[in-house]
Amino acid sequence: MSLLPDQYDKYIRFFKFMMKYWNSDVFSYTEEKMADSESEVETENFDHSPEELAEDLKSMGPTYVKLGQLLSTRPDLLPPPFLDALATLQDDVEIVDYQEVETIFKEELGVRISKAFASFEKEPLASASIGQVHRAVLHSGKTVAVKVQRPGIRKRFIEDLDTLMSISEKLETYSEMGRNYAIHSVIEELRYVLLKELDYTLEAQNLATLKRNLVEFEHMFIPAPILDYCSSKVLTMEFIEGGKITKVSPLKRLDISFEPLVDDLVKSYLKQIIVDGFAHADPHPGNVYLTPENKIALMDLGMVAKFSNEMQEIILKLMIGLSNYDGSRVADILLSISEYDDKKDVSNFKKDVIRKTQENENARAKDLQTGRILIKMNQMAAKEGIHIPVELNILGKILLNLDQIVAYLAPEYDVQQTVKDYVQLLMQKRMKENLKPENLMEVFLEMKELTENLPYRLNKFSELLADNRLKIKVDAIDEQRFTGAFQKVANRITAGLIIAALIIGAAMLVRVPSSWTIAGYPGFAFILFVIAAIIGLYLLYEILLKDESKKEK
């Protein structure tokens, strides 16, 4: 397949990036130093700074910015300072001209902006790699935010993703490091996430679902989508007044108690993860706003995390283990869902997890960070060649971001105690659910059938036992056939040794002068060769013909 000039350029830029970082300390960190020390990692120890990596990705375009954001959820690939730098990575993009915004809106919704809205601000409030946001007012008087996708961005993403997919396949084929870190899987995950983010109808559905799921939390606000004004490239939703949570002034934090808000924030995320299996996947401080009514608003639902019922149960058990500081239980849970070589010695990993869990038992409440603990355990696992499911990477990142928000708004808030109380409450609710009449009906029906049939079956069993007619069928090895097979193998080995001895003896006798010859060869040597040939042919007949006929029978 021939490559176009712009494709050559993409390959060249990517290979320059890889040449710079592939053999650097940044990526070799996970292999050589991960979990070797409990001390914080100093950025001066690396030959490239976190900011340098972030800037290099930014210079390569929006696809690589998204790749950086995805890598920020992979503590098994990068050291902590680099994860932090990539988590807040944002690209510098030019503002899309209003005429293009108007064209896209009309193509998508079939109506001009001037007809759809009472007013529409031409200057965007924010501009990002995929789209930009404008403030507008509906004819009903409701203020809304309108996100319009950049023209041609889908085509650009797909071209970049095709390049990355092609390169990652080669890296896994020809590079041991590429195979160890499953680079191709990382790019496949990036492709999946990006194509989802490019469809604004999915984000509208995510907003509606999350708003419905969190209706019980009075201090949480999720903007509702205006579905009649949404398409795959246009998203219209309620406008959020207020500012980023990190912009709250120190004086306001002294004046107002944020503990009720933080309590709702933590519990709402526990519900999203453990109960709903549907969670806002990127709660970094830039995506969390504080409204004038002192409510916490969640922004940007282009990417959500989904947890299966099985994974929710695992996370629930994991939370119980962490809240009880039961390191042995935590290690067993992590190993039960991870992939690793069956022959691998996992004792070191278990010891590390137990030590890390016990260390936190004596820590102050405000110093406990469940997210950081999970990420550290992920690093320990990666060092030992244990592959923990990606859902736990995402969980660790979500909890780490929550820890940061909690530390900013309410430093004395005990997240660990809230997790413990919530998990206990959830367990009680599940017990009550299981004891409801409709859930017990199936159990009662099974018990009814058992009690009805039990007297007859016990009577039948005692009759057979009394008449000495009780038979127990056991599927086991037929000892006689097993012994016969061993004898056959032993006989054939013996025959083979005899043939070898006859041939060697004949070969030695050929060199001894003899008056008795057959066909010009010493007589004894010739006879030994003939005997060896006869035994050999018979053995061949036994193996090829008789064994084959027995298989067919």
Dist. CA 164–CA 478, nearest whole Å:
57
Directed axis angle between helix 415-434 and helix 390-409, to 10°?
Answer: 130
Query: What stretches of 225-282 adopt beta strand conformation (E)?
Result: 234-238, 243-244, 278-280
Strands 296-298 and 304-306: unpaired
pLDDT in tens, 453-469: 767 677 777 777 777 77
Q: Which residues contact 516 (CB under 8 A, 6 or more apart)?
A: 522, 523, 524
199 φ/ψ sector (left φ>0, alpha ψ -120 to 50, else beta) = beta
User: Which strand (E) or helix (H) includes residue 522?
Assistant: strand 521-522
pLDDT tens track for 508-534: 776 667 777 777 777 777 787 788 788
Task: Tell me the backbone φ, ψ of residue 346, rounded to 5 degrees.
Answer: -100, 10
pLDDT of the residue at 185: 81
Contact 81, 26 (CB under 8 A): no
Work out whether the CA dihedral 71, 77, 83, 86 comes out positive or negative.
Answer: negative
DSSP state, residue 477: -
Residue with tokens 């137990």: 354
Pairing of strands 296-298, 220-221: parallel
How many Å apart are CA 21 and CA 161, to the nearest integer? 20
Rg for the chain, CA atoms, rounded: 35
pLDDT tens for 244-293 read 888 888 777 777 889 999 999 999 999 999 999 999 988 887 789 999 99
Residue 193's CB is within 10 A of a number of other CB atoms, namely 17
Phi-psi region of 140 (alpha: psi -120 to 50; beta: other; left: phi over 0): alpha
Token duo for residue 209: 């679902």
| Cβ atoms 136, 121 nearer than 8 A | yes
275, 240 Cβ separation under 8 angstroms: no
At position 110, the amino acid (one-letter code) is G
Residue 124's pLDDT is 94
Residue type, 112: R
pLDDT of res. 213: 96
The identity of residue 483, as a single letter, is: T
Q: What is the DSSP string of 490-508?
A: HHHHHHHHHHHHHHHHHHH
Task: Please say whether the beta carbons of 402 and 279 come within 8 A.
Answer: no
Query: Is residue 270 packed enough to be buried (19+ CB in 10 Å), middle (13-18) or exposed (0-12)?
Result: buried
* Residue 522 phi, psi dihedral angles, 5° rounding: -50, 135
Residue 473's pLDDT is what? 64
d(CA 401, CA 299) in angstroms, rounded, equals 14
Cα–Cα–Cα angle for 15, 18, 20, nearest 5°?
110
Residue type, 106: K
Task: Give the number of residues written for the chain.
Answer: 553
**Is-above-0.85 flag for pTM?**
no
One-letter identity of residue 552 = E
User: What's the token pair of residue 289?
Assistant: 């706003």
- C-alpha pair distances (Å), 361 with each of 68, 323, 357, 358, 366: 34, 9, 7, 5, 12
- On whether the CB atoms of residues 235 and 200 are closer than 8 A, the answer is yes
Instruction: Give CA–CA dist 86/68, Å, rounded.
Output: 5
Hey, how many other C-beta atoms are within 10 angstroms of the C-beta on 438?
Answer: 7
How do beta strands 131-137 and 220-221 pair?
A: unpaired
Q: Could you tell me the two tokens for 532?
A: 């060896």
* C-alpha separations of 376 from 80, 273, 381 in Å: 9, 20, 9
Query: What whole-number distance in Å separates Cα of residue 371 and Cα of residue 393?
Result: 9
Q: What pLDDT is attached to residue 367?
A: 60
340 exposure class (CB count in 10 Å sphere: 0-12, 13-18, 19+)? middle
b/e 171-184 (16+ beta carbons within 10 angstroms → b): bbeeeeebeebbbb
Q: State which residues of the chain have pLDDT below 70.
A: 1-8, 10, 22-47, 73, 75-76, 90-92, 177-178, 180-181, 361-368, 433-452, 454, 456, 470, 472-487, 490, 510-512, 544-553
